[in-house]
A = this chain, B = another copy of it.
Amino acid sequence: MLRYNMSIRPAMPDAPGPALADPAFAAHDHTRCTAAALAAAEAVCAREGGRLTPVRRRTLTILLEAHRALGAYEVLSRLAADGFGGQPPVVYRALDFLQARGLVHRIRRLNAFAACLRPGEAHQALFLICRGCAAVAEAPGGGVRASLEAAAAATGFAVERASLEATGLCPACRGEAP
């Protein structure tokens, strides 16, 4: 198990903006999770239909490699740098495709997108956004989702999709700035 900031992206401050999205602010082997996610993406497309075309694949790998939440225009500029069309619809369409298959999540509080860390598995994402370091973690939100459905059922509402996002302080930032 590798410490993310120590070994995976040692010399890439990568400017400010929404940051890391890892399982729960915990370290992990990033190259491995990227490869796994890409393989899962192929499998999902094979199963659910739709082709993982070059733009779509590149969009996904951009999000996986960045390993943090990126704005659509940030993704777009990287796509353009790689020779793909540089207009907004290109990236929004790719993101739509990936979102529809659960390979990418949208984080509404940030107007940003992040690669899913559990592609292929049915799950409810819960995003924890640190206001100290801008890190974003995708945590399992199954329990929260169940609780939400119970609350909704009390009013007769049938939940189809839920967005669960919280802001606060990650473990590291709690120590620094309590």
Pairs A–B under 8 Å by Cβ, sample size 12: A24-B155, A25-B156, A25-B157, A109-B163, A128-B155, A130-B157, A137-B155, A148-B166, A155-B171, A159-B166, A159-B167, A163-B163
A170 to B25, CA, bound (A): 36
Among A76-84, A91-99, A138-146, the stretch in contact with B? A138-146
Number of copies: 2
Residues of B within 8 A of A137 (CB): 155, 157
Residues of A within 8 A of B (CB-CB), count: 40
Is A154's CB under 8 angstroms from B109's CB? no
Is A157's CB under 8 angstroms from B166's CB? yes
The majority secondary structure among interface residues of chain A is: mixed
A132 to B88, CA, bound (A): 29
Is B139's CB under 8 angstroms from A143's CB? no
Q: Does A5 contact B (CB under 8 A)?
A: no
A174 to B160, CA, bound (A): 12
Question: Which of B155, B162, B167, B170 sits near A165, CB closer than 8 Å?
Answer: B162
Report the nearest B residue to A165, measured CB to CB.
B163
Residues of B within 8 A of A126 (CB): 148, 151-152
